[in-house]
Structure 1
Amino acid sequence: MAKRKSASKKVKTWSHASTKAGQTKSKRTNRKRVTPKAAKGKTTKRKSTKRKASPTRSDLPAVRVRMFRQGLGDCFLVTFDVGGDERHMLIDCGTLGNKNSDVKTDDIVKHLESTILDNGRLDVVVATHEHQDHLSAFRTKAMKALVGNVNHVWLAWTEDPADPDAKTLAKYRNDLGQALAEIALASPDTEVGKQVHDLMGFAGEASDDPLGFAKTVNEAMDFVRTGLGAKPTYHNQGDLIETDWLPGFRIYVLGPPRDKDLLKDLGEHGSDELYGLMRAAKLSAATAASPASAADEEASELEQPFDSRFRLRDETQKRRLYPGYCETKQDWRSVDFGWMNAATHFALQLDSLTNNTSLALAIERIADGKVLLFPADAQQGNWLSWHDPELHWSVPDADGAVGKVTAADLLSRTVFYKVGHHASHNATARGQGLELMANEDELTAFIPVDRKLALTRNPKGSWQMPARPLYLRLLQKCQGRVVRADTGWAAKAKSGDATEKALKDLADDDQWAAWQKSQSSAKHVKENELFIEYTLE
């Protein structure tokens, strides 16, 4: 497969701040590389650049989005043609836990049973990527209620076991994950070990077996892929989903890309740096009952900066010979675990790589062109790829003439934004993302977050979700219409609130008053203990 040309302009992120009836028909973009002159000759000229007058409200199929409040995780139920021939799409269902509510994922399944399955079926289940906070519920007994009651399953190409690129990606991810699991297991009480452990929490539950580091999340994805009773469709960037059972809507697949540089620099499989870390972890964790292998001992010996005769491993002898050095207050002098410092880099790389495999969707209501954006946890590379000059969709406009739709066009018409990765600093593109969402009079943002839980992760207080600069800009762009799963409507931080401390003085009283007025006028947003609801009438 020819490598696609990558967009050269970098995205600025908030680092500072079968075609049978009833089945999905996926249309790919025209990716043939042509010269500007040839492209001009082949493009169908639009009759008009203006849309027809907006249809009356009664002519528009309403769309409802429910964001469930199960903690630090994503679970969204999208209902099309509300009050009519309703169709339902479940996008992810997972959590890393919660501190601000008692909602469990089992409660979500019960809601699906009572409101959907009792009257019909769940039309689509979308699993965006392999992270616990998006998939953990699919391992629960409660999810058996969905078996045989789902019509379609949509996954990214990265989850296709028959796709060569996906196989390569999965192999690297597993190798890297196992090495990191070894490190976290070897030194669970060190700061680096704790950080790696918490980052690995996205990839799977803690395990005493490093080889099973991603067992839980793999089981969850396998259940979605094979256990629901519906054959999965693996979507590629550029697919256009138009289907008979979902009239009035188009769904554009924005990502993930196939360009490895945009997903993440994957490095070389079996690199010395990666496996050197793994060997060091195994040796550190070795005991008399479970000794390291001779091969690991020999390989590690060649990587050590000093010959073995100059190394002191016996802790008792070390403390006897160097009592002052071994005092607790002198820990800062020790380099015993210095080899682990690179582990946090690898853990972040694994996390970013997986996030960039997110299936990112833009849902368009055809009648008025309004868009609901669900980018999952897409990070910079994924967002950047949307703006590749070769990525566009050919669709009929309001007058029936075929026109070109780009990601920038979809972003400019976005009225609902599911904020990526719990509004962390690196999962919302700036110039080629949020700043292109021009419909500020309607734009509403939903953040699936539990800030109190996020701040407990290591290093303590470092998981700033939502990140202050992004949070502020969202409030400005949405004119205050920003909703958090943990708190509801965004509100001024109260004095003495430790959880919201870093968000204190985000804006002055006048600005908050204006935002609260905007929130009060937003009758299309409703809140209860189980979910927060947005409706596009």
Structure 2
Amino acid sequence: MSTKGGTKTNAARAKPPTKVQAPKSPTHLNLFAYQVGFGDCFLLQFVYGDGDSDKRHVLIDFGTTGAPEADSGTLMRRIAEDIRDKCQGARLDVVVATHRHADHISGFATKANGKGSGDIIRALKPRLVLQPWTEDLALATDASGPTSKGIKASAGSIRTVSSLAAMTSLAEQVTRLAIERPNTLPPGLADRLEFLGRDNTKNLSAVENLAQMGQVGKSAYAYFGVQDPLEDLLPGVNTHVLGPPTVEQCSAIKKQRATDNDQFWHFHARGVATTNSINGNGTAPFDTAFVKAKKGKLPREARWAARHITNARGNQLLGIVTMLDKAMNNTSLILLFEVGGKRLLFPGDAQLENWSYALEQPGVAELLADVDLYKVGHHGSLNATPKSLWKGFRKRGKPEKTDRMTSVLSTMAGKHGSEGKKTEVPRKTLVDELKHDTHFHSTHEVPTSTLYSHVRIDF
């Protein structure tokens, strides 16, 4: 009702509609474990509100070194397109690259024509790219130390990254040697060397794409105990970074486990020196040229020695690249998401040494005891699920257990390890326990025609 003098009507004085606030915590999680063969690719879709109107997306790793399809590039593009569809035209909130192994980052590679799987992910303009602190140094070859706030640069930090660079160079040489398949390497050993070599070769396109995405949005390089890097992006979710430790943090391990000093963070100097002998073997007593000169046959009295010398050389290389593989895994991020009373553990490929530091810290074992969802470490490798960690999970149990935990495994048999040495991946004894004590989901059991396995966790 209006009055003289232009007084506002009652309608005009009415309060504006109250703005609806977005829910403070997600109601549930949709976890999509993509079928990449030997590799990891997980899309975490945190759903806020009853109408699924608000979703936040976190992509943890995107790589393969043993795709179930002949054309891994086609598969990774299909997965990238599916991730884009699930984001429904919105930006991808977080990209996590747990560590530099190809089976975790190869999908981030781009193509000159702009149609690579990494191009599709970059078009989603991730708000944050999260990587382990070691990658902060690796991206700048002349860096003098970590640049992230709270990390103190030290000679140890610089040596660590220099070691990683040296290992990359060695991996490239081992890969070339294995591809050439010289007569001096048995076929099975050559296959093993090629797989490990490729996995540890720095994927320059993927690494550069991760860096560029971080420049468009933000980059964060994490280490044990760093403040929640996803705090502003995932309302109601508390993200704990449990690994890897920095060089300064792991000094306690060096004191307590002196035999692990070099193997934990540093590549043995003698291992790096061996790179000089990989390709420069022209003067070896039983090299290819010598055998050719003898019309393909060594003298009978030399054959036994030649075979054992050749095997020793091949096994030495295998030991070196295996050590390289282990060192890279120990730079892997370990993330624990805590939301709505549930705990979700994603440890990448973290192995025993990385875990040992975290499990020794006050309160960590108790924090991990009530894990509800466990992304099985390192594709089911036995030493990536320490027994102390496994036995500490209180929610393991028989199918009738009301709060029984869920486990999710991304793997492919026959690519890593040896059944004869009981190091096969996935390790049968571990898989048996996972099946017995958890709600078990494995990409290995998903038909190759199916793109992913879907797991829902209600909060």
Report deviation, 1:78.
0.6
Select the residue among 91, 99, 107 that pairs with 1:121.
91
Structure 2 residue aligned with 1:138: 108
2:296 and 2:79 mapped to 1: Cα distance?
A: 59
Superposed CA RMSD:
3.6
Q: 1:226 aligns with which of 190, 206, 212?
A: 212
- Counterpart position of 2:270: 273
Indicate if the aligned counterparts of 2:66 and 2:415 stay in contact, CA closer than 8 A.
Answer: no
Match of 1:415?
372
**C-alpha deviation, 1:168, in angstroms:** 2.4
SS at match of 1:314: helix
Give, in whole Å, the separation in 2 of the partners of 1:460 and 1:159. Answer: 35
CA distance in 2, matches of 1:467, 1:414: 21
Note the 1:385-404 alignment, pairs <5 A: 385-389=357-361, 391=362
Q: Does 2:449 align with 1:473?
A: no
Name the counterpart of 2:193.
Answer: 196
2:422 and 2:295 mapped to 1: Cα distance? 34
Q: CA deviation at 1:323?
A: 3.1
Contact 1:183 1:340 in 2 (8 A): no
Q: Secondary structure at the match of 1:486?
A: helix
CA contact (8 A) 2:160 2:266 kept: no
Distance 1:230 1:382, change over 3 A: same
Secondary structure of residue in 2 paired with 1:81: strand
Per chain length, whose mean CA-contact separation is higher, i.e. which structure has more relative contact order (CA < 8 Å, sep 6+)?
Answer: 1
Show the counterpart of 2:326: 352
- Structure 2 Cα separation of the partners of residues 275 and 129 of structure 1: 21
SS of residue in 2 equivalent to 1:358:
coil
Judging changes above 3 Å, is the alpha-carbon distance between structure 1 residues 335 and 92 closer, same or farther for their aligned structure 2 residues? Answer: same
- Distance in structure 2 (CA, Å) of the matches to 1:236 and 1:281: 35
Q: Say if 1:71 and 1:101, in contact at 8 Å, map to a contact too.
A: no
Aligned to 2:443: 485
Aligned to 2:159: 168
Which one of 309, 312, 316 corresponds to residue 338 of structure 1? 312
Letter in 1 for 2:452: F
Note the alpha carbon deviations across 1:269-289, whole angstroms, 9 max, x for none: 8966235422322322x5xxx
Q: Which moved more, 1:81-90 or 1:132-141?
A: 81-90
TM-superposed CA distance for 1:94, in Å, is 0.5
- The Cα offsets for residues 152-211 of structure 1, whole Å up to 9 and x where unpaired, read as 11111111124145542221122234335435544634134443222112113xxxxxxx
Question: Which residue is equivalent to 1:450?
Answer: 412
**Which one-letter code corresponds to 2:349 in the other structure?**
D
Q: Does 1:71 align with 2:37?
A: yes
The alignment partner of 1:88 has SS state of strand
Deviation at 1:139, TM superposition (A): 0.4
Q: Distance in 2 between matches of 1:466 and 1:337?
A: 26
For residue 300 of structure 2, give the secondary structure of its aligned residue in structure 1.
coil
Measure, in 2, the Cα distance between the counterparts of 1:320 and 1:122: 58
- Other structure's SS at 1:104 match: helix
Q: Within 1, Cα distance between the matches of 2:127 and 2:320?
A: 38
Which residue identity is paired with 2:271? L
- Structure 1: how far apart are the matches of 2:367 and 2:239? 11
Q: 1:272 to 1:173 in 2, by over 3 A?
A: closer
2:445 matches 1:531: no
Q: Secondary structure at the match of 2:309?
A: coil
| CA distance in structure 2 between the aligned counterparts of 1:532 and 1:129, rounded to whole angstroms | 23
Distance 1:314 1:101 in 2: 38
Unpaired segments of 5 or more residues in structure 2?
1-23, 111-115, 138-144, 147-152
Deviation at 1:333, TM superposition (A): 4.7
- Taking a change above 3 Å as real, the CA distance of residues 219 and 323 of structure 1, as seen in their structure-2 partners, is same
1:81 aligns with one of 44, 47, 52: 47
Q: Are the equivalent residues in 2 in contact too, given 1:130–1:218 (CA < 8 A)?
A: no
The DSSP-based 3-state class of the residue aligned with 2:279 is helix
Q: Distance in 2 between matches of 1:387 and 1:312?
A: 50
3-state SS of the aligned residue for 2:301?
A: coil
For residue 53 of structure 1, what is the aligned residue in structure 2?
none
Instruction: Supply the distance in 2 between the matched residues of 1:425 and 1:59 (Cα, whole angstroms).
Output: 35
Say if 1:439 and 1:167 are closer, same or farther in 2 by CA, change over 3 A: same
For the 8 Å contact 2:175–2:198, the answer to whether it is kept is no
Instruction: Show the counterpart of 1:158.
Output: 134
SS of 1:95's equivalent in the other structure is coil
The percentage of counterpart residues that share the same residue type is: 25
Structure 1 pair 345/532, CA: closer, same or farther in 2 (3 Å)? same
Please state if 1:324 is matched with 2:320.
Answer: no
- Residues 172 and 266 of structure 1 are in contact (CA less than 8 Å); yes or no, is this contact kept in structure 2? no
CA shift digits 1:59-107 (9 cap, x unpaired): 8621221101121110111111252521110111011122379881111
Measure, in 1, the Cα distance between the counterparts of 2:360 and 2:418: 36
1:434 aligns with 2:390: yes
Work out whether residues 74 and 134 of structure 1, in 8 Å CA contact, stay in contact via their aligned partners in 2.
Answer: yes
Name the SS of the counterpart of 1:201 in structure 2: helix
**Secondary structure of the corresponding residue to residue 160 of structure 1:** helix
TM-score (norm 2): 0.74
Deviations 1:202-221 (A, max 9, x none): 113xxxxxxxxx2xx24312
* Aligned counterpart, 1:494: none
Task: Tell me the equivalent position of 1:314.
Answer: 290
1:427 Cα deviation from its structure 2 partner: 1.1
